Amino acid sequence: MRMLLRASLALTLSLAAGVTCAATLTDDLGQQVELPHPAHRIADAWYAHHSLLMTLGAGDLIVATVNHPADRPWMFKVQPSLNQALQARGKTFSSEALVARGVDAIFVPAQDPDAASYRQAAIPTLSMRFDDVASMKRSLLTTAQVVGTPEAHRRALAYNHYLDAQIAAVSAQTASLSDAQRPRVLHILSLHPLKIDGGQTLIDSWIRLAGGRNAAAQVTGNMKEVSPEQVIAWDPDVIIIGADAGRLEDSPCAALFSGVKAVKAHRVLQNPSGVFPWDRYGTEVALQILWAAKQLHPQRFPQLDMIAATRTFYQRFYDYPLRADEAERILAGLPPISG
């Protein structure tokens, strides 16, 4: 027992101090990764994972990115150093280009077919995956280990505590809701082709936390293509459309969906999008839970000011002094005003 306590204390102290020498880390797939030293030059091949590094105050360590300013304008505005990073064409980096840039660690999404070539180039490669709140918190701590500084570890713990606090505050208002009080919510990722997000996903998690039921819960996974007839059969009370999906009224589905409850009740919502789309896989899910709860049950959250919450989040976790008008654009799913 005494030896176990000593080992636990040693691990806690090493995390607090950061990784200062060679370490063996475990990525999200349970793979062991040798890291010779803290990563100072990082390549990130998972679009959403950038927000984790930014939350840790390590966005300026990204020297190779799969994101582009045309697609993620808020990300590049909030983290302007990304404009100097190597930008991949598609999802693949040249291993030679990464070596030339001195990359000492790369994050890849789970099952990335390019991971093997990065490992062959002797670049420490961490496969990342999270599909609920608990696994995202774990990923953030793993990412902090790769960065290897006390500040990154402190910020990881601070964010996880913040996320827990938001979940607790929302759950205090929604946990007691009966099924009849929980609207059936359909989250549409894409209108053409028509793709939805089902169960066992982070999207399903925030729908339930916010006091809703996922109308597509019988479907497992993200980005699942379905027919318009299936959506009509589900007949959701609320439809939330991803910020990048366009508007329902401009889509081929507009006439078909005219009889759906959500459309008839004018409860078709466009999702906010900032550094990354709030509804997807990034740290802004903490804001997504608040926004969704406010949308689904406004009477239970009369004091929740989403503009203020967004500005506070961006200052605290992205070190960016977001103005009120900028917060309004993010909440509307709009890009920053250029110039």
Q: Please write the tens of the pLDDT for every residue from 91-114.
A: 999 999 999 999 999 999 999 999
Q: Which of residues 63 and 17 earns the better pLDDT score?
A: 63
For residue 84, being part of any structural domain is answered with: yes
**Residues 138, 6: one domain?**
yes
The total of structural domains in the chain comes to 2
| pLDDT of 37 higher than 60 | yes
**Residues 16, 145: one domain?**
yes
Please name the helix (run of DSSP H) or strand (run of DSSP E) that holds residue 51, with its range, or none.
helix 50-55
For residue 153, being part of any structural domain is answered with: yes
Q: State what percent of residues in the chain have pLDDT above 70.
A: 94
Q: What is the pLDDT of residue 2?
A: 45
| pLDDT of 307 higher than 50 | yes
The residue among 187, 191, 183 whose CA lies nearest residue 202 is 187
Contact predicate 245/269, CB 8 Å: no
Q: What is the pLDDT of residue 139?
A: 97
Contact predicate 114/137, CB 8 Å: no
On average, the pLDDT of the chain sits at: 93
pLDDT-derived band at 22 (thresholds 50, 70, 90) equals confident
| Residue 87 burial (CB count, 10 A) | 14
For residue 280, being part of any structural domain is answered with: yes
The residue among 295, 290, 338 whose CA lies nearest residue 311 is 290
pLDDT-derived band at 13 (thresholds 50, 70, 90) equals very low
Domain containing 307 equals: 177-331
For residue 336, being part of any structural domain is answered with: no
| pLDDT of 1 higher than 70 | no
For residue 168, being part of any structural domain is answered with: no
Q: What is the pLDDT of residue 338?
A: 82
**Residues 201, 279: one domain?**
yes
Q: What average pLDDT score do residues 145-149 get? A: 97
Q: What is the pLDDT of residue 339?
A: 61
Q: What is the pLDDT of residue 8?
A: 40
pLDDT-derived band at 18 (thresholds 50, 70, 90) equals low
What is the pTM (predicted TM-score) of this model? 0.91
For residue 73, being part of any structural domain is answered with: yes
**Residues 156, 221: one domain?**
no
pLDDT-derived band at 21 (thresholds 50, 70, 90) equals low
**Residues 140, 225: one domain?**
no
**Residues 130, 18: one domain?**
yes
For residue 172, being part of any structural domain is answered with: no
**Residues 123, 215: one domain?**
no
pLDDT-derived band at 17 (thresholds 50, 70, 90) equals very low
**Residues 207, 325: one domain?**
yes
Q: Which of residues 7 and 63 earns the better pLDDT score?
A: 63
- Residue where one domain finishes, among candidates 115, 136, 162: 162
**Residues 144, 17: one domain?**
yes
**Residues 112, 198: one domain?**
no
- Residue where one domain finishes, among candidates 107, 135, 162: 162
**Residues 115, 210: one domain?**
no
pLDDT-derived band at 63 (thresholds 50, 70, 90) equals very high
pLDDT in tens, 169-201: 999 999 999 999 999 999 999 999 999 999 999
Q: What is the largest CA-CA distance in the chain?
A: 69
Q: What is the CATH number of the domain that holds 326?
A: 3.40.50.1980
For residue 291, being part of any structural domain is answered with: yes
**Residues 274, 303: one domain?**
yes
- Residue where one domain finishes, among candidates 127, 162, 197: 162
- The residue ranges of DSSP E strands in the chain, in sequence order, are 23-26, 32-35, 42-44, 62-65, 86-87, 105-109, 125-128, 184-191, 194-196, 213-214, 224-225, 238-241, 268-270
